[in-house]
């Protein structure tokens, strides 16, 4: 993230505007437009994920599960859980005595997720809740672990969302944020730019008949706080022992933090 982006983000927090990709928009407009993106892509979301990442998103998610420390009997929140990849894995780990909540603001994504999980026999210990990450409708100190995977970038007030996650996490619980981040190798950065600004919208057009949403994806990734900035935001929200892992050269990072 450049210095001017940091300054512009700080300014935006003081007024009623924010970013939707590279555009500056009213905060409420961002909420509406993010909702439009996910209503539009929901049906093709999974296939696009596999195509865009060459299947590597499955490895990033597997690593997230490995870092979660999830155990039988635990209560887990998969926030912005969308089509439920992480929820499905957690459901198997926590078992009959545990409980996974897949929460998402978007009912199209929730419906696709619920249908997919039920079709694969995942029922019983999973519940689906339509909720905004900024105002989680759960009691204080409720979850053993919260994951938020490729969602935080889309949230209008990220600091508020992080505080909300902190509130509902149990003392000793951990938050894992899986998100696109800043590549740490310069040549990779150039190839990645070419790929995301040229190829991604074309793939979106061909497969999901929606180039715009995938242009937004590329732009929103560039506007998202880099590794160190996000770690600072987590600490500001109260998380301790924060740490991040760069995955695929920093294209993606997994941030971890605890509530004590
Ligand atoms: C890119 S998808 C990620 C889905 C899934 N977690 C994954 O990793 O495949 C982002 C999800 O975040 C959800 N989302 C966006 N803003 C949100 C908010 N403020 N609160 C909760 N969910 C939100 C979207 O509806 C969408 O389902």
Give the residue, by CA position, lying nearest to ligand 1 atom 3.
Answer: 150
CA of 183 to the centre of ligand 1 (A): 22
204 assigned to some structural domain:
no
Strands 17-20 and 23-26, by their bridges, are antiparallel
| Other residues' Cβ atoms within 10 Å of the Cβ of residue 162 | 26
pLDDT tens digits for range 68-90: 999 999 999 999 999 999 999 99
CA pair distance 19, 13, nearest whole angstrom: 10
Q: Binding site for S-adenosyl-L-methionine: what residues are annotated?
A: 83, 104, 132-133, 149
- The reply to whether ligand 1 has any atom less than 6 angstroms from the CB of 113 is no
23 assigned to some structural domain:
no
232 assigned to some structural domain:
yes
C-alpha distances in angstroms, 28 versus 16, 19, 24, 83, 232?
Answer: 9, 11, 12, 24, 26
pLDDT class for 13, splitting at 50, 70, 90? low
Tally of domains in the chain: 1
**What does the CA dihedral 54, 62, 74, 100 come to, rounded to 10 degrees?**
10
User: What does the pLDDT read at residue 12?
Assistant: 52
11 assigned to some structural domain:
no
Which of 154, 155, 252 has the most ligand 1 atoms within 8 A of CB, as the residue to mutate? 154
C-alpha distances in angstroms, 222 versus 22, 130, 182?
Answer: 8, 27, 8
CA pair distance 164, 92, nearest whole angstrom: 26
Give the residue, by CA position, lying nearest to ligand 1 atom 4.
Answer: 82
CA pair distance 121, 92, nearest whole angstrom: 11
Give the residue, by CA position, lying nearest to ligand 1 atom 13.
Answer: 80
243 assigned to some structural domain:
yes
Q: Residue 60 sits in a domain of what CATH number? A: 3.40.50.150
Q: Residue 104 corresponds to which tokens in the numbers above? A: 């998402």
pLDDT class for 45, splitting at 50, 70, 90? very high
Q: Average the pLDDT over 131-139 and give the result.
A: 98
The predicted model scores a pTM of 0.94
């Amino acid at each position: 993230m450049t210095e001017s982006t940091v300054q512009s983000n700080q300014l935006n927090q003081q007024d009623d505007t924010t970013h939707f990709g590279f555009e500056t928009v009213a905060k409420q407009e961002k909420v509406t437009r993010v909702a439009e993106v996910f209503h539009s892509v929901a049906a093709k979301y999974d296939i696009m994920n596999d195509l865009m990442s060459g299947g590597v998103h499955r490895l990033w998610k597997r690593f997230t599960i490995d870092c979660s420390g999830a155990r039988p009997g635990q209560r887990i929140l998969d926030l912005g859980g969308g089509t439920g990849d992480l929820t499905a894995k957690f459901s198997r780990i926590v078992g009959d005595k545990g409980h996974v909540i897949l929460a998402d603001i978007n009912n199209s994504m929730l419906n696709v997720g619920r249908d997919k999980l039920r079709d694969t026999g995942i029922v019983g210990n999973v519940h689906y809740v339509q909720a905004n990450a900024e105002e989680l409708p759960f009691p204080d100190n409720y979850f053993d672990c919260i994951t938020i995977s490729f969602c935080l970038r889309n949230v209008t007030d990220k600091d508020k969302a992080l505080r909300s996650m902190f509130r509902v996490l149990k003392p000793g619980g951990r938050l894992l944020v899986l998100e696109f981040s800043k590549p740490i190798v310069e040549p990779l950065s150039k190839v990645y730019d070419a790929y995301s600004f040229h190829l991604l919208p074309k793939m979106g057009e061909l497969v999901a008949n929606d180039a715009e949403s995938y242009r937004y994806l590329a732009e929103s990734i560039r506007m998202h706080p880099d590794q160190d900035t996000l770690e600072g935001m987590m600490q500001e929200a109260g998380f301790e022992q924060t740490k991040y892992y760069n995955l695929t050269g920093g294209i993606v990072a997994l941030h971890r933090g605890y509530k004590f």
